Amino acid sequence: MKKLFLTCMLAIGILAANAQYKHSIGLALGSPSGISYKTFLSDNKALDFTLGGSGHYFTLTGMYEIHAPIQDNLQWYYGPGAHIGSWSGNDYGSGAFLGVDGVIGIEFNPDIPFAFSLDLRPGINLIGNEYNDTHNWFFWQSQLSIRYIF
């Protein structure tokens, strides 16, 4: 009976993972590192939020992503976004910042209830560029995200 229950639960998990998912939450590793949440608005459009930072800044980033298939469990995505946050430290100044972002990446959904993505995110700080006007107004970030699908 126990084996039957475990087999049924595993089968449900695999079937759920194969379907286009609605929500996922997990970790984003990179710049910034933090908590990542993605929700699909339709089959190919999603909102992706990251709450995180590093030793000298804290940020909330929101992206609007358009997904397109590459093959069965692999897709690529792109889209615009925005970020807001604050930084502090002797080398960075202190205060709030606000800006716009872009994203391009790939997402892999294997036959388990997890999604893995890797992306590149260029950004521009429009407000709050106190550290260095020649470097931090434009920047590149990248993230590896591991999310549980529910």
Question: What is the separation, in whole angstroms, between the first and last Cα of the chain?
Answer: 26
Cα(98)–Cα(129) distance, rounded to whole angstroms? 9
The answer to whether domain 2-149 has CATH 2.20.25.10 is no
Residue 61 phi, psi dihedral angles, 5° rounding: -120, 135
3-state secondary structure of 4: helix
User: Six-digit token pair at 38?
Assistant: 């993605």
Residue 1: is its pLDDT beyond 90? no
Dihedral of the CA atoms 101, 104, 109, 110 (nearest 10)?
-130
Percentage, residues of the chain above pLDDT 90? 65
Alpha-carbon gap, residue 71 to 47, rounded angstroms: 22
Question: Cis peptide leading into 32, omega within 30 of 0?
Answer: yes
Q: Assess contact for 35 and 147: CB atoms under 8 A.
A: no
Quickly count: other Cβ atoms within 10 Å of residue 85's Cβ.
Answer: 19
Q: What is the pTM of this model?
A: 0.81
**3-state class of 42 per DSSP?**
coil
Domain residue extents for the chain: 2-149
With cut-offs at 50, 70 and 90, classify the pLDDT of residue 3.
Answer: low
CB atoms under 10 Å from CB of 150, counted, come to 10
d(CA 107, CA 79): 14
Instruction: Please give the structure tokens belonging to residue 32.
Output: 């910034």
Band of the pLDDT at 8, cuts 50, 70, 90?
A: very low
pLDDT in tens, 38-79: 999 999 999 999 999 988 889 999 999 999 999 999 999 999
